[in-house]
Amino acid sequence: MRFLRPEFAMWGAVALVVLAIVRWRAQRRFVASTTVRWLGTAAFRASILRRLPAAVLVAALALTIAALMEPVLPYSVSAVTSRGLDIVVVLDLSSSMQEQMEPMRPGAAPPPAAAGPAGETRLAATKRAITNFVSRRRDDRVGLVVFSDNAYVISPLTFDRDYVVRYIDMVDDQILRGEGMTSIGEGLALANTLLTRQARTDEHRNQVIVLFTDGENNHGREPLDVLGESSAANIRVHMIGVDLESMVWNKPQVQQLFQAVQKYGGKYFNANSSRDLDAASRAIDQIEKGALVSRAYVRDAPVYQWFALPALLCLTAAIGLRAIPYFVDYT
């Protein structure tokens, strides 16, 4: 326990001394008879109990002074908050995304229902994986960017996951009608811009881009240059290759893109099936975790009532004792 106003102790002590002097000076003098020496003996000496009202009154004043000194109990409090991420999902809407995902071979067993319906397009399978990914990001702000010849913001960064999921459902091959190229660099550049413009100045949140594409860059900016810009801005990029064919996988430009993603701290996942897409999104979900921020601070809990209530009881007791004839002073 500590007192916020310890100077009140000195003033209280001075007040008690002044009251004692005033009481002593206010006592009346009287003429005693010759038998005063007999009254001074132990047989006629007043009981010490007669001073009980004064003692209780002094205790009340002392407790009142202690309450005025503002006693507090300091204790430590830890506030733990979850600080999420800023994540932009970049989705390829080139014409190749309308091709069938994992076409069934003759005599092969149909895929399980959890892996998605047989014969669905790459875009449909990717949308389902993105929806599951966004639904699991509870403390993060998530945005959505799509690209083909050019890149477009479908949803800015927001905590409203349902809002993002609704826009993911609305994405189809008709949104970018008339386009069909694969501008990976344009999509990454727009995601960088979105993260930079919506960055919060009051808190530092890690920034992440998750790229879903099924081909090589054949239009717009060079993605290797944009990945360097992302790294310089402390933005981590993860890439999921959607059902990449061997002829695309083995191209030097595609290989350099994979290597650049890993060079700058990201992860690359090759998803040849709907199940692989969901597994890749879950892997990224485990890699990119928000941070728990613990902030400790000392708080003072006022406990003046520990002194004020006893002081009130003592004052009441002193007044009550004065009403008893035994404690009344006679002169």
Tell me, what's the pLDDT at 34? 54
Identity of residue 119: G
Domain limits, CATH 3.40.50.410, in the chain: 85-289
Tell me, what's the pLDDT at 204? 65
10-residue block means of pLDDT along the chain (331 residues)?
75 76 64 54 61 78 81 68 78 84 48 52 87 84 90 89 89 78 89 86 76 82 88 88 70 82 86 81 77 60 80 80 69 44
Q: Which CATH fold would you assign to the domain 85-289?
A: Rossmann fold (3.40.50)
Tell me, what's the pLDDT at 28? 56
